[in-house]
Structure 1
């Protein structure tokens, strides 16, 4: 890979991370991981306006994080496989002192708190249990 390709990859990756960095878009991706929903249902689940939800979905679609499927007049959205990224971001955010591992860079074993990640993530995201299909 030459320097020009590396720069493009870095810019594309940064654009994806910027899109995920918005709390509303993070929540949308979390809810959409593993299932598809129309914008009206997404807005209801997140307690947001349909217009604002549509704008966030458009941004996510632009960077390739969500895809759509039309059924009649409804458009259904689904995530493009970013659940691992979301979980890792959640893990890093909740790590002690903001560090992802120990000082020597070794990866630490999960704690009991990490085992409860789905419940913690739902609370942190403000998403109801029913929105995640549990």
Structure 2
């Protein structure tokens, strides 16, 4: 490919990795789930996470830097929201990948003679069907 395509791939890969790093923390993942359905103030998010407001604010700053959340001020309160439906899709895809990567290992234990790749194909379900039934991950709070 040409150098323009290579440069775009490199920049795109770096951006994708930055997004994945931002979501890679369990607290930030949970914050995004909480914000994917509604806008919330920092205090409410801290209460939901069982964490201090300052700690939640630091996580939100990282998510804002990655372009995953936006904020607005209303008086003394700061409200956060996800930047679009693509954020919810990212979380849902991560949950699907996690479930798919765990399923072949569990099935391989049940049927030791069958390869994990064959099991994954056997269990393949159209993504549209899986996404329609996807639920939010269970949290402690």
Matched, 1:55 2:58: yes
Question: After superposition, where does 1:1-134 map in structure 2 within 5 Å?
Answer: 1-81=4-84, 82-95=87-100, 96-97=103-104, 102-103=120-121, 107-109=124-126, 117-118=134-135, 121-123=136-138, 125-127=139-141
Give the CA deviation at 1:93.
1.1
Q: Under a length normalisation based on structure 1, what TM-score does the superposition of the two structures give?
A: 0.77
**CA offset digits 1:7-65 (Å, max 9, x no partner):** 11110110001101110000000000021111110000111111110000000000100
Q: Structure 1 residues 35 and 57, CA, compared in 2 at 3 Å: closer, same or farther? A: same
Higher helix share: 2
Larger radius of gyration: 2
Give the CA deviation at 1:114.
7.7
Provide the rounded CA distance (Å) in 2 between the counterparts of 1:74 and 1:84: 28
With 90-99 and 64-73 compared, the bigger mean Cα shift is at 90-99
SS at match of 1:102: helix
- Structure 1 consecutive aligned stretches of length 4 or more whose deviation exceeds 3 Å: 98-101, 113-117
Aligned positions, number: 122
Unaligned runs of 5+ in 2: 106-115
Give the CA deviation at 1:107.
4.3
Q: Structure 1 residues 115 and 2, CA, compared in 2 at 3 Å: closer, same or farther? A: closer
